[in-house]
Amino acid sequence: MLDKVGWAVGAVLGALSNPLIAGGVVAGAVVLGTGGWFAARRFWWRPVPSVLAGISLGVVLGVTFSRTLPDWAGRDEFCQLNGFSLHGSAELLNAMLFVPLVFFAVLATRRPLAVLGLAIALSAVVEVLQPLTRRGLCETQDFLNNSAGAVVAAVVAAGVLALGRRPAAVVR
C-alpha cells in the first residue's frame, strides 16, 4: 500500500511540474479560497473550513480542467464505462480528489448530506464536461472513485461534528 501512496505522490508532483496544471491549481485555489471566505461571511459558515473548502474546490477544478487531452483519447466513445477500482495510482488519486473538499465543506456548513449530494453531482458534471472541453476523459470509474471518497469524507466529517456536540464529561 505504501508503494501505491508513494507512486501517487510522485504522480501528483509530476503533474504539478506541468506549468498549465500548476497554474490552474494555484489560480483556482486562490480565487475559490477567497470565495469560501466571502461565502462564510454571507451564510454564517465557519470561516477557516470554508476557505479550506474553497481552496480544495480550486484544486479539484484546477487538476481536472488544466490538463490537455492526449491525441489518442476520446475518439471512440463519449464516456468509458468501467467500474470502481483502487488498484492503480490514478484510481487512488481519484478516490482522494474530493476528500478535502467534502471534509472541509461539511465542517464549514454542518450539512453532510447536502455537501455529499453536491460533491457527487459535481463529479458527474466534471466527467461530462471533460470530453466536451477536451480537458480529460469521461470515465464512470472516476465518477465512482470520486463519489466513494466523498462518502468517506462526509461520514468522517459528520463524526467530527457529532463529537464536537457531545457534552463534556463531568469529573467527580
- pLDDT in the model for residue 74: 55
What is the phi-psi region of residue 67: left when phi exceeds 0, alpha when psi lies from -120 to 50, beta otherwise? beta
- pLDDT in the model for residue 23: 82
Domain that holds residue 109: 2-71+79-165
Domain count, the chain: 1
How many Å apart are CA 30 and CA 25, to the nearest integer?
Answer: 9
**What is the average pLDDT value for the chain, to the nearest integer?**
88
How many Å apart are CA 65 and CA 62, to the nearest integer?
Answer: 6
Report residue 6's pLDDT band, with 50, 70 and 90 as the boundaries.
Answer: low
- 83 in a structural domain: yes
- 103 in a structural domain: yes
Report residue 119's pLDDT band, with 50, 70 and 90 as the boundaries.
Answer: very high
- DSSP 8-state code for residue 25: H
pLDDT at 67 over 90: no
| Tens-place pLDDT, residues 80-93 | 889 898 888 788 88
What is the phi-psi region of residue 44: left when phi exceeds 0, alpha when psi lies from -120 to 50, beta otherwise? left
- 160 in a structural domain: yes
pLDDT at 4 over 70: no
- 172 in a structural domain: no
- 152 in a structural domain: yes
- 171 in a structural domain: no
